[in-house]
Structures are given as structure tokens and as C-alpha cells.
Amino acid sequence: MKKIMIVSTNAHKIVEFKQMLEPLGFEVSSLKDLDETADIEENGTTFQENARIKADYIRDHCQMMAIADDSGLEIDALNKEPGIHSARYLGHDTDYTYKNTVILKRLENETNRTARFVSAIALAIPNQETKVFTGIMEGEIAYHIAGENGFGYDPIFYLTEYGCTSAELTPEKKNEISHRGKALQQVLAYLKESGL
Ligand code: IMP
């Protein structure tokens, strides 16, 4: 059976990738299955570089296929912050209601509210060049927090087309239109068309 490792300890991400990869005949493991903790230095300057660093690390250390993602929110009026620092912005363990409130405050008098979620997914295969796929969901920073679904910055991410935040979408709808959903679809198409 084809083996692949998800370079993550995030239970939600592992499930999402498993659901996609198992029907293609992959035996899926994750960082949680490693005996030692992988000390991967994410020192890239873009989502794509960080995803590649994580996937290449496991491919080289474990001699197996690896898939890794990196994602975040870019706000144009804040010079694309929090960007690659999205998870640790204002502190890794800081509550998102606080983080979102701070962002709304920083944008209080700002009319340019354009923003996007970006997801880069890297697929590293032994003896092959690593492939990186990018998915983007464009939107705006809302004026108020709204919605209970999703996670992170979803309650302040307004989708003009749907007239609501991404935290007000059903999980199914969000998966269909999200940055991660779009990147995942590209990975899936690549795996299928290359017969992997
Ligand atoms: P990663 O897990 O290192 O890729 O960090 C991604 C961070 O970006 C998360 O911790 C969130 O803060 C933010 N983020 C990424 N995708 C989403 C999303 O779909 N909704 C809300 N926040 C997101």
C-alpha cells in the first residue's frame, strides 16, 4: 500500500487529509505517529516555502511521501499581516475573540478592508521535485464579529458574495469555497492524473 505522512499534529487537518487520501488507496500517518518530536524550523518567508520545508523534512528523514500545509490571513491595509504569522499573531495561545477584536480596532478608520485567506499545500515524493499548490479565498474584514462556525479569523472574514462571514457558512459550504478546499482539490487532481 502507498504510504503518506501528513506533516501536522492538528487533529482537524489530519482528518481532512485522511478523508481525501484514503479513498485513493493511501495508508495515512501523521506527525503524531512519529516516536520523536520532529523539530522543523519553519523559517520560510512565504506560505509556499513553509509548506515545502515541512514536507521535504519528513520526506528526507523518513524516506516516504509527505504532505504539509501552511495557511493564514493577509490583510492589505496591514501590509498583509498577520500573514505567515497568523497562528502566533498576538500570541499562539491567545483567544481569537481577542485577536479579532484587536484587528477590528486597528482597522477602525480604514476603508480599504480587502483581505484573503491563503493555503499552500506541498507534496514531497522521494526522488521527485516537490509540488506546491495554492488556494485563495478573497474577502473583506467585517466591521463586527459574526458567526459561530469555523475557527480562527472566520468571524471577521466577510464574503460579499454570500453576505456573511465565513463563520456563518455551513462547514460544507466553507470547504467547497475555502482556500484550503481549493488547494486540496488541486492536490487531489494531481495525484489522480499522475497515477500516484
Ligand atoms: P497553520 O496551521 O500554521 O497553517 O496556521 C494557520 C493559521 O491561520 C490558523 O491558526 C488561523 O489563525 C489562520 N487560518 C488559516 N485558515 C483559516 C480559516 O479557514 N479560518 C480562520 N483562520 C484561518
In this predicted model, what pLDDT tens digit does every residue of 42-76 receive, in sequence order?
899 999 999 999 999 999 999 999 999 999 999 99
What pLDDT, in 10s, does the model give residues 76-125? 999 999 999 999 999 999 999 999 999 999 999 999 999 999 999 999 99
Minimum CA distance residue for ligand 1 atom 3: 70
d(CA 179, CA 175): 8
Which of 33, 60, 69, 70 does the annotation list as catalytic? 70
Distance in Å, CA 195 to ligand 1 centroid: 31
Considering the entire predicted model, what is its pTM? 0.93
Report pLDDT for 108: 96
Ligand 1 site, CB within 6 A: 70-73, 86-87, 117, 150-154, 178
Distance in Å, CA 88 to ligand 1 centroid: 10
The contacts of residue 38 (CB under 8 Å, 6+ apart) are: 7, 31, 57, 58, 61
Active-site annotation holds for 56: no
The SS3 call for residue 166 is coil
What pLDDT, in 10s, does the model give residues 149-190? 989 999 999 999 999 999 999 988 998 999 999 999 999 999
Report pLDDT for 175: 87
Distance in Å, CA 135 to ligand 1 centroid: 13
Minimum CA distance residue for ligand 1 atom 23: 152
Nearest to 140 by CA among 75, 72, 47, 71: 75
